[in-house]
Structure 1
Amino acid sequence: MKIGMLGAGEIAQAIARHAIRHGHEVVFSNSRGPASLAPLVEDLGTLAAAATPEEAAAADLVVLAVPWPRIPDAVAGLPRLDGTVVIDATNQFATLSPEPEIADLGDLTGSEYVASLLPGARVVKAFNALYGQFIAADPRHEAGRQVLFLAGDDADAKNSVRDLTSEFGFAPVDLGTLREGGRLMQLGGPVSALHALKQD
């Protein structure tokens, strides 16, 4: 599978390293252009590449992992992603400094807002409820596998994300739709930053 990354920070790199370990190609993109990603791509090896956001979005599956305020700019120039599975790994931090502030979206969940910016895409919320170090680490532990919560409105898209993350070693748990499950997972929700293991 070819996985496109919109963003190249801690979360994107952690997911990418799992993907590369399992033989998937990863195409990184950011707002500064492919040249700025050369050191990262060189470090990750031949299965990693750098490209424009438009090129990354043409992959088999896309991961959105940019800071919340940058989402509109990150997706603004993309073509319609009709049928593309997009993993939304973002959290709605309007600001982080001096104090974290959650963006007010009214009745929308964060992923419903993201989906509204990506018409035609099949958005699956995942990875946002875990701290970066838990995503980067081996999800397999003696006591069990790291639980990964996910939510989405398309069953086939969720199955694709479930299969991929299971391959990585996570224990995916489907919480339902972007509205119900997304509300549980987003900032302030009961499973946000809940790090649990599933015994096999």
Structure 2
Amino acid sequence: MTAPERTQFTNPLPKPNRFVTTNNSEGQSVYSKRLPGPVEFWPVGPENEPAGFGLGYTTSSVPVRLTNDQDLTEMTSNYNKRKQSGLVKKGGSVVRYVDYPPKASSPMHRTVSCDYAIVLIGEMECLLDSGEKRLLKPGDILVQRGTMHQWVNYTESWARMLYILLDASLVVDGQAITEKLGDMRGVSASI
């Protein structure tokens, strides 16, 4: 028997807005109305300290197919499946918000991706499996390149991170490295 899906959790941080531009039939730059504006968050992780995931945008390929709004069509489909999409979009990119409650952490995990991780609100520590760690403050960026890592919010306040994840390949000492999610509850394998 599976536990019921959680749809509500207490998160005091404001929802960010998403604005997407496109070109109209006259070639003018306009704002698209195809996606909802506010980024919706959903809970992941343990019941007692769920983090909040929010999907900003995804692309299914590089280069991105903008002609006839193909990327918007793909994003609409991806958005409808956002809770089952995994962390990385194979062959593409993901923009994801993650809100961390006070005193919470992710499990030690690895994505086969190159991630640009930016602290927007609060402070976060990134711990590597070697024991090395760095403290990130608002505006700081960490470039995560297929490594085992863990995010920790040691503070008494909520923190918000923005991640831009780019699909990658990684071979170390002749061995292909694969995704390891640890005990990341509520997160599917990347597709």
TM-score, with normalisation over the residues of structure 2? 0.27
Greater CA radius of gyration, 1 or 2? 2
TM-score, with normalisation over the residues of structure 1? 0.26
Structure with bigger helix share is 1
By relative contact order (CA 8 Å, sep 6+), the higher-ranking structure is 2
Structure with bigger strand share is 2
